[in-house]
Structure 1
Amino acid sequence: MNARVLVIGASGGIGAALVEGCRARGDAVTPLSRSADGLDLTDEASVSAVLEAVASPFDAVFIATGALEIDSVSPEKSIRSITQKAMMDQFALNAVGPALVLRHASKLLPRDRRAVFAVLSARVGSIGDNRLGGWISYRSAKAAVNQIVHTAAIELSRSHPQSICVALHPGTVETPFTEKYLGRHPAVPPEEAAGNLLNVVDGLTPAESGGFFDWAGKAVPW
């Protein structure tokens, strides 16, 4: 039986690749995005209206939204560069947005079988792995979404015992999102990143729900 998959952020590089990767496997995919469906993760009413209209449940839900730059504001190199608006914008999109979607997780996922809810995070959101500093707003928003996912997983396990709710680090991916910041970092095309993430998700069990995993399936430090 082919899976039913919901991809939020389907117009982005990784989101679009996830849509195509799932369809190539024979899955029935519902793609949602701001540009095509008016789904604005920074607007609570928008999230509720769009998600209430989709035909659920889904065997897998991917939140592939996010931004490193918002309103052309680059990541901070120092704590001295922090501004309230830039930090709040990062939290609104990269942390609160996924939380607003997770609020609907109990309706989006089936209770009687395995189901996955995966949120794209980033290794820079790891507190234990932070050795370089900088990028404070983006790092903090990603650390916050990791906590949100972990907490939601605990709650979901009570009502959906076969659910798997995780944060995923896709690695460095060649998209407009990262174009200015690739430098000498090795990067992979979106199609490869999506394939890696799907392989990771396929191998997870409910016992690993609430975890933070990279593109190779390795646990990332909190």
Structure 2
Amino acid sequence: MQLTSFGADYRALVVGSSGALGQAFCQLLREDPGCAGVTELSRATQPGFDLLEPASIAAAVQSLAAQAPYQLVLIATGVLHDAEIQPEKSLAAIDAEAMQKVFQINSIGPAVLLQQLLPLLDRKGALAVLSARVGSIADNRLGGWYAYRASKAALNMLLKTAAIEHARRYPEARLLSLHPGTVVSPLSQPFRGSAAARPALQAAAELLAVVDNSKAADSGSFVAYDGASVPW
């Protein structure tokens, strides 16, 4: 695919580049003849960062400042489960330490990323974060998954608020919160619905098209992979 809204020889930064969607973003962007370069940032890169350690985020981003501005920034980070955390099926299953970790990775860490990355974004560039439809309060019909739902809802509010502030100085920039749908990845594999998951490359291409087709007036929006607006 070839993106058209970032101009010739645009530069991209993918944060969370070691994940399924992060890797797919990097592959597609490197195949785009209009992309002059893709910078990767993850726990595995040098420099690397850890969302549980805010100081590491600032240090990693500051090391990339010389390469700025970036016309496209994608934040493809997040956690649903790990060796210690599982989505809660009921209120009784809430664990304060596990919830704190989920919020640190899904909300607080990305907030620090926004703080550090927006000064590196081109004045007409686009920044997108990966959220999830289950973070929609209006669309919550099944309940459960307390920490994940709430942390993604918080991420949406952080992105929306940052978009309002950023637009005061850079009205042509685009900040978007994206719902990727169910994607073939370690995150989705253990759960119901994973059988209908889309390949990461397909999902990444759809999300890149959404960002590419967006306008400045869309900044602060919550958008699905098919371009449809997702209710807050």
The alignment yields a C-alpha RMSD, in angstroms, of 1.1
Could you say which residue in structure 1 is the equivalent of 2:182? 172
Could you say which residue in structure 2 is the equivalent of 1:4? 11
Taking the aligned partners of 1:189 and 1:182, their CA distance within structure 2 comes to: 16
| Structure 1 residues 70-102: Cα deviation after superposition (integer angstroms, max 9, x where no partner) | 343210000111010111011000001110010
Give the drift of 1:183: 3.8
Could you say which residue in structure 1 is the equivalent of 2:42? 33
Helix, strand or coil at the partner of 1:131: coil
**1:107 correspondence with 2:116:** no
- In structure 2, the gaps of 5 or more residues are 1-7
Taking the aligned partners of 2:219 and 2:50, their CA distance within structure 1 comes to: 27
**1:90 correspondence with 2:102:** yes
Could you say which residue in structure 1 is the equivalent of 2:223? 213
CA pair 29-154 structure 1, distance change in 2 beyond 3 A: same
Taking the aligned partners of 1:167 and 1:57, their CA distance within structure 2 comes to: 21
Could you say which residue in structure 1 is the equivalent of 2:86? 74
CA pair 105-33 structure 1, distance change in 2 beyond 3 A: closer
Give the drift of 1:106: 3.3
Give the drift of 1:44: 1.3
Give the drift of 1:185: 5.4
Could you say which residue in structure 2 is the equivalent of 1:117? 127
| Structure 1 residues 161-217: Cα deviation after superposition (integer angstroms, max 9, x where no partner) | 111001000010000111101446521010000000000001100101000000001
Taking the aligned partners of 2:19 and 2:84, their CA distance within structure 1 comes to: 17
Paired residue for 1:139, among 140, 149, 161? Answer: 149
Percent identity over the alignment is 45
| Structure 1 residues 84-137: Cα deviation after superposition (integer angstroms, max 9, x where no partner) | 0111011000001110010023321122xx210100000000000000000000
**1:52 correspondence with 2:62:** yes
Taking the aligned partners of 2:219 and 2:92, their CA distance within structure 1 comes to: 37
TM-score, normalising length: structure 1: 0.96
Taking the aligned partners of 1:71 and 1:85, their CA distance within structure 2 comes to: 14
Amino acid at match of 1:124: V
Helix, strand or coil at the partner of 1:180: coil
Paired residue for 2:52, among 14, 37, 42? Answer: 42
Amino acid at match of 2:106: N
Q: How many correspondences in the alignment?
A: 220
